């Protein structure tokens, strides 16, 4: 396993408790009686990951909720907020019950075991590296919350609430948790030497591909093919975007799992890429249309953030600037192509921004991590024997495997859930009236 990998294997000697651990857990009344590891806790690192966990949760609630809520029409704003809050709650419980164990317990190269289900063998004194393992679990939980929440943008304004909950729950356990194990849990991509510092494959490619599949399976919103569907509250969107930008410091900086130079450089790289992505997107709009828009500059910021995420701990600040620029350019034209040429209603541009950004950033991590690029140099490859071509090969395999597995399992989930519920989509009348009323009997605004 690479020295750069985000995952630190905690309490390996408990990894095969399996079913016996679950019995012991219930017998002990959920006491969590794990023995303490000999490693010493770092107060500084613990404080930083506590703060980072709060920052990453802020990204979903209220950051993503406001960002997405402002982008839909007023008759659907509450449905977006409701979906974000519900996913946060359900993902948290599922991560505790079994998701964390699937991702981070020792199993095989493809999936973890059940030794950490219900946090069996993990108590207050358990450690992961030099931070408490319950904190490591909590930090990872915030990632498990935001990833399925990102997918909302692919089916916004037309998917039944029951289908959203069922899909998000199953997707977390069958897509997100296994791929997390591949990359950060000591799985086969970690052994391959894949660079993914904070979630280019685990978060952005999985969410982006799932949103693209959702958009294709459900079809476009009513009126999408005839006219532009405009955001109802850009003030809300810009507010949410600001929270995402700040929260991303915990997302990427916290992935160093310590208050150290790697965290500092990751945050600097993150900020520069976000700034460059925002400038680039707004600049393209200004050149093409004569004006720069608020929607454009915040979308460019998110594109820069998504693109730098997998590379943030491996590249220098100048390399981050280039990655942010390329993220702004490539994601801008991907958005135009998918919406205008392919006519795919990925309602809130999840795939062209997060999916394409994650793919691009994962590949560029294999380039700008090189120590031989002068001012653009990074911090080296996963192995001293690796060349840039070797690392690019590992990055490409990670992208292809994540894309393919996510697309297939996501499609199967939609097919199965559609049959169970008798359909994924609300009726035409319900869609016209808005999901706030039809699904929740509420309205976002009172006249």
Kindly report, residue by residue over 128-153, the tens digit of the pLDDT: 999 999 999 999 999 999 999 999 99
Burial class (CB in 10 A: 0-12, 13-18, 19+), 435: buried
**208 near 355, Cβ under 8 Å?**
yes
Mean pLDDT of 178-207: 98
* 3-state SS record for 109-139: CCCCCCCCHHHCCCCCCCEECCEEHHHHHHH
223: left (phi over 0), alpha (psi -120 to 50) or beta: left
38: pLDDT confidence band, cut at 50, 70 and 90?
Answer: very low
pLDDT score for 19: 34
Alpha helices per DSSP H over 172-316: 177-184, 188-192, 206-218, 234-253, 261-289, 294-308
Share of the chain above pLDDT 90, in %: 87
Euclidean distance between CA atoms 108 and 280, whole angstroms: 43
Is the whole model's pTM more than 0.85, yes or no? yes
Total residues found in the chain within this entry: 447
pLDDT at 177 over 80: yes
Kindly report, residue by residue over 89-111, the tens digit of the pLDDT: 999 999 999 999 999 999 999 99
Q: Which residue has the tokens 């000697």?
A: 13
pLDDT at 4 over 80: no
Domains identified in the chain and CATH numbers: 43-440 (1.10.3430.10)
Query: For 370-383, b where at least 16 C-beta lie within 10 A, e where not — what string?
Result: beebeebbbebbbe
pLDDT score for 12: 31
pLDDT score for 447: 66
pLDDT at 68 over 90: yes
Q: Which two tokens stand for residue 52?
A: 């980072």
pLDDT at 6 over 60: no
pLDDT score for 76: 98
| HSE value, Cβ hemisphere, 13 Å, CA-based, for 180 | 28
Kindly report, residue by residue over 384-438, the tens digit of the pLDDT: 768 999 999 999 999 999 999 999 999 999 999 999 999 999 999 999 999 999 9
Largest CA distance in the chain: 68
Q: Which two tokens stand for residue 300?
A: 């460019």
pLDDT score for 446: 84
Kindly report, residue by residue over 208-263, the tens digit of the pLDDT: 999 999 999 999 999 998 888 999 999 999 999 999 999 999 999 999 999 999 99
Average pLDDT taken over every residue of the chain: 92
Best CA proximity match to 169, nearest among 186, 194, 147, 200: 147
pLDDT score for 173: 98
List residues bridging with 35 in a β-sheet: none
Euclidean distance between CA atoms 213 and 80, whole angstroms: 19
pLDDT score for 34: 37
Euclidean distance between CA atoms 245 and 240, whole angstroms: 9
Best CA proximity match to 310, nearest among 246, 356, 261: 356
């Amino acid at each position: 396993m690479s020295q750069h990998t985000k995952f630190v294997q905690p309490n390996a000697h408990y990894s095969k408790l399996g079913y016996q651990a679950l019995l012991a857990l219930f017998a002990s009344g959920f006491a969590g009686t794990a023995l303490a590891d000999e490693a010493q806790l770092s107060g500084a690192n613990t404080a930083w990951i506590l703060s980072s966990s709060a920052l990453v949760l802020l990204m979903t609630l209220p950051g993503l909720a406001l960002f997405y809520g402002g982008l839909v029409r007023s008759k659907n704003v509450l449905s977006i907020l409701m979906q974000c809050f519900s996913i946060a709650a359900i993902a948290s419980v599922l991560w505790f019950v079994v998701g964390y164990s699937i991702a981070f317990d020792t199993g095989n190269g493809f999936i973890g075991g059940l030794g950490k289900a219900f946090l069996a063998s993990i108590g207050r004194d358990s450690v992961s590296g030099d931070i408490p393992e319950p904190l490591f679990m909590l930090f990872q939980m915030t990632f498990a919350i935001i990833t399925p929440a990102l997918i909302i943008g692919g089916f916004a304004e037309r998917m039944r609430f029951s289908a959203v909950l069922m899909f998000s729950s199953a997707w977390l356990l069958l897509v997100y948790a296994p791929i997390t194990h591949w990359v950060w849990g000591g799985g086969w991509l970690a052994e391959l030497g894949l660079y993914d510092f904070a979630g280019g494959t685990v978060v952005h490619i999985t969410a982006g591909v799932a949103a693209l599949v959702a958009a294709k399976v459900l079809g476009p919103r009513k009126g999408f093919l005839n006219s532009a569907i405009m955001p109802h509250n850009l003030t809300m969107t810009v507010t949410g975007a600001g929270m995402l930008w700040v929260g991303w410091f915990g997302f990427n900086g916290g992935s160093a799992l310590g208050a150290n130079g790697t965290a500092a450089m990751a945050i600097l790289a993150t900020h520069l890429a976000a700034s460059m992505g925002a400038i680039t997107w707004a600049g393209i709009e200004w050149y093409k249309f004569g004006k720069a828009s608020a929607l454009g500059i915040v979308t460019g910021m998110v594109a820069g953030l998504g693109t730098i995420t997998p590379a943030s701990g491996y590249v220098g600040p100048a390399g981050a600037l280039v990655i942010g620029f390329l993220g702004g350019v490539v994601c801008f034209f991907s958005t135009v192509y998918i919406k205008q040429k392919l006519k795919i209603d990925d309602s809130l541009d999840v795939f062209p921004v997060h999916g394409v950004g994650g793919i691009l950033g994962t590949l560029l991590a294999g380039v700008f991590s090189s120590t031989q690029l002068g001012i653009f140099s990074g911090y080296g490859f996963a192995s001293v024997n690796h060349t840039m071509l070797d690392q690019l090969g590992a990055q490409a395999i990670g992208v292809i495997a994540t894309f393919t597995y996510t697309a297939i399992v996501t499609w199967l989930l939609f097919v199965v859930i559609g049959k169970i519920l008798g359909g994924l989509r609300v009726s035409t009348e319900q869609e016209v009236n808005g999901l706030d009323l039809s699904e929740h009997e509420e309205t976002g605004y009172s006249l």
